[in-house]
Amino acid sequence: MQLFYNPDFNIQAPFLLEDEARHCLKVLRIKKGDIVHVTDGNGNIFETRLLTEDPKKCQLQIISTQTESYKPYTIHIAIAPTKNADRTEWMVEKCVELGVDEISFIACEHSERKFFKTDRVEKIAIAAMKQSLKSRLPAIHEIISYKKFIEQPLPEQRFIAHLEEGKRELLQQLAQQGKEYCVLIGPEGDFSPEEIRLAQAKGFLAVSLGESRLRTETAGIVACHILNLINSR
């Protein structure tokens, strides 16, 4: 199944947006009368029939609608963008494929990148959602300071994956099934001791993601995978 995206999908007058229509007709060679599946990114997948071969706005006819039920848990990864933006973009792609609900970018004391535009990342998230046949587009948040982020209302199950010496249990041992989660992932230079102290004062539990020392972007993917895995039991 090929999945298309229209965030403003109108059930009264369904159509494909220009970029999607062009891809549908020119690249995939889909013809009038063929079946086309569209998601609005809000949990709905519409099975439709192509009525017109207009590369600017393909008209559709809805055949059926499937609504994805909400998961009993949510995953929020808050991560410091890497110096190489490609690595952060790769992390976003893989987390979307695995099943993430929110991604926030945070500027930490040791961050090599204090500014990060999300325009391209949002397009990558859309492509990953369609490729993995998911119907919910994760929320992607603009970069904010670390201190401002941890002052926000956050889930009860919140963790900080740092590399400082001390007691750190594995994430899969502390995370409870069916909860809302937030995991802080620091920059390559790790969180500063003060950032760790501030997070723990805000109720973040220090966790390990395993014995290997992971790159920032790998840590984000591993945390997302672990939380999905413990909820698949």
CATH of the domain at 17: 2.40.240.20
Q: Which residues of the chain have pLDDT under 70?
A: none
20, 45: one domain: yes
Q: Tell me, what's the pLDDT at 140?
A: 97
Q: Are residues 30 and 110 in the same domain?
A: no
Give the pLDDT confidence score for residue 141 in this predicted structure: 97
Instruction: Determine which helix (DSSP H) or strand (DSSP E) holds 139, and give its type and residue range.
Output: strand 139-145
| 204 and 221 part of one domain | yes
Same domain membership, residue 86 and residue 47: no
- Looking at residue 167, its pLDDT comes to 79
Q: How high is the pLDDT of residue 68?
A: 87
Q: Residue 53's pLDDT is what?
A: 92
Q: Are residues 93 and 29 in the same domain?
A: no
Same domain, 81 and 186: yes
The verdict on 106 and 187 lying in the same domain is: yes
23 and 98: one domain?
A: no
pLDDT of residue 111: 93
Same domain (yes/no): 184, 220: yes
Domain enclosing residue 192, as ranges? 74-230
pLDDT at position 70, please?
A: 85
End residue of a domain, out of 30, 52, 67: 67
Considering its fold, how many domains does the chain have in total?
A: 2
Q: Which CATH number do you get for residue 79?
A: 3.40.1280.10
Dihedral sign for Cα 157, 162, 166, 169, please: positive
pTM (predicted TM-score): 0.93
Using the Cα atoms of residue 25, residue 28, residue 29 and residue 35 in order, give the sign of their dihedral: negative
Locus of tokens 């956050």: 154
User: Does the CA dihedral 193-194-195-201 come out positive or negative?
Assistant: positive
Query: 206 and 141: one domain?
Result: yes
Boundary-marking domain end, from 49, 67, 85: 67
Indicate if 124 and 202 belong to the same structural domain.
yes
Tell me which of 43, 67, 91 is where a domain ends: 67
How many Å apart are CA 184 and CA 146, to the nearest integer? Answer: 10
Residue 20: the pLDDT is 94
81 shares its domain with 33: no
